[in-house]
């Protein structure tokens, strides 16, 4: 019996290390870290959190502004709005038109102005002016999807038990061959299952940065890609 238990234990250990060998998580994440240290962050993102006080509320609003909007435009709009109006109380004191003017030209600025005001009002009415530290409650705020709620949990509340998934975080693990998923939500659930916990916190920023520089959407730079040897290049038809 002892022997059986022992070999069973060994068997599970071997299975786990085989899984890690198949996926090469450690090698890939280490290489992405190295790549990240060679890429200079855009000036704007270095400046943003120096001007704006980083709180769950400012992370939430900045994330809403970023949807379907270029980083530089989001950064400038965040600084204009949140540099002066960084709490729900201060935002509700503004008219929708004033918010629109401050955040223009972010994508869908009219809808976003309306949502930002509504969300701020809900935070005051339902949560006493404080962003709830609760994924489900965040998700129930109008206009807040899984990506935004996860970002607020990770970057607003420093809670490492979530993986925010944007377009890069969905596309690249599918190309590598870690997962085979159709939607970002499926990707999130699969990654929570297979990716060892120690990689969760860094996953989002490393993959976003990698997706903006090397593994770009239309024609990825496979010839200079540091993780090329571990990548199955699933559904990559055109590359450089
Ligand atoms: S080899 Fe190509 S498809 Fe694979 S991760 Fe690198 S850039 Fe992306």
Give ranges for CATH 1.10.1670.10 in the chain. Answer: 22-41+163-230
pLDDT confidence of residue 118: 98
| Ligand 1 center from residue 172 Cα (angstroms) | 8
Q: What is the pLDDT of residues 155-164, one digit of tens each?
A: 999 998 999 9
Q: Report the percent of the chain where pLDDT is more than 70.
A: 88
User: By the 8 A CB rule, do 220 and 239 touch?
Assistant: yes
**pTM more than 0.85:** no
Parts of the chain belonging to CATH 1.10.340.30: 52-156
Question: What residue spans of 67-166 are helical by DSSP H?
Answer: 71-82, 88-92, 96-103, 109-127, 135-139, 146-151
The residues lining ligand 1, judged by C-beta closer than 6 Å to any ligand atom, are 172, 175-176, 214-215, 220-222, 225, 227-228, 231, 233, 236, 239
Nearest in space to 41 (alpha carbons), one of 197, 180, 218, 213: 213
Is 50 exceeded by the pLDDT of residue 4?
no
Per residue in 42-88, pLDDT (tens digit) is 544 557 888 899 999 999 999 999 988 988 899 999 999 999 999 99
Q: Which CATH architecture best describes the domain 52-156?
A: Orthogonal Bundle (1.10)
Cα–Cα dist 139/163, whole Å? 15
Place of tokens 């935002």: 91
- Please give the CATH architecture assigned to the domain spanning 22-41+163-230: Orthogonal Bundle (1.10)
The closest residue, in CA terms, to atom 1 on ligand 1 is: 228
Residue of 23, 220, 232 with the most ligand 1 atoms within 8 Å of its CB, for mutation: 220
Can you tell me the mean pLDDT for 168-192?
96
Q: Which of residues 41 and 132 earns the better pLDDT score? A: 132
Query: Rounded distance, CA 8 to CA 154, Å?
Result: 37
């Amino acid at each position: 019996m002892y022997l059986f238990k022992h070999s069973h234990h060994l068997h599970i250990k071997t299975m786990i290390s085989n899984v890690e060998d198949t996926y090469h998580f450690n090698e890939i994440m280490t290489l992405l870290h190295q790549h990240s240290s060679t890429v200079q962050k855009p000036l704007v993102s270095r400046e943003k959190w120096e001007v704006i006080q980083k709180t769950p509320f400012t992370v939430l609003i900045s994330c809403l502004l970023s949807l379907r909007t270029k980083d530089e435009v989001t950064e400038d709009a965040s600084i204009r709005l949140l540099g002066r109006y960084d709490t729900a109380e201060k935002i509700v004191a503004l008219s929708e038109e004033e918010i629109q003017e401050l955040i223009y030209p972010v994508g869908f600025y009219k809808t976003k102005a309306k949502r930002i005001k509504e969300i701020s009002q809900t935070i005051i009415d339902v949560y006493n002016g404080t962003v709830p530290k609760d994924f489900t409650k965040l998700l129930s705020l109008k206009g807040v999807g899984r990506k935004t709620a996860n970002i607020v949990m990770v970057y607003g509340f420093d809670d490492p038990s979530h993986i925010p998934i944007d377009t890069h975080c969905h596309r690249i693990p599918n190309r590598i061959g870690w997962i085979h998923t159709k939607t970002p939500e499926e990707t999130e659930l699969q990654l929570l299952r297979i990716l060892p916990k120690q990689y969760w916190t860094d996953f989002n920023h490393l993959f976003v940065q990698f997706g903006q520089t090397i593994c770009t959407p239309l024609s990825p730079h496979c010839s200079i890609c540091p993780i090329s040897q571990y990548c199955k290049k699933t559904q990559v038809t055109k590359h450089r």
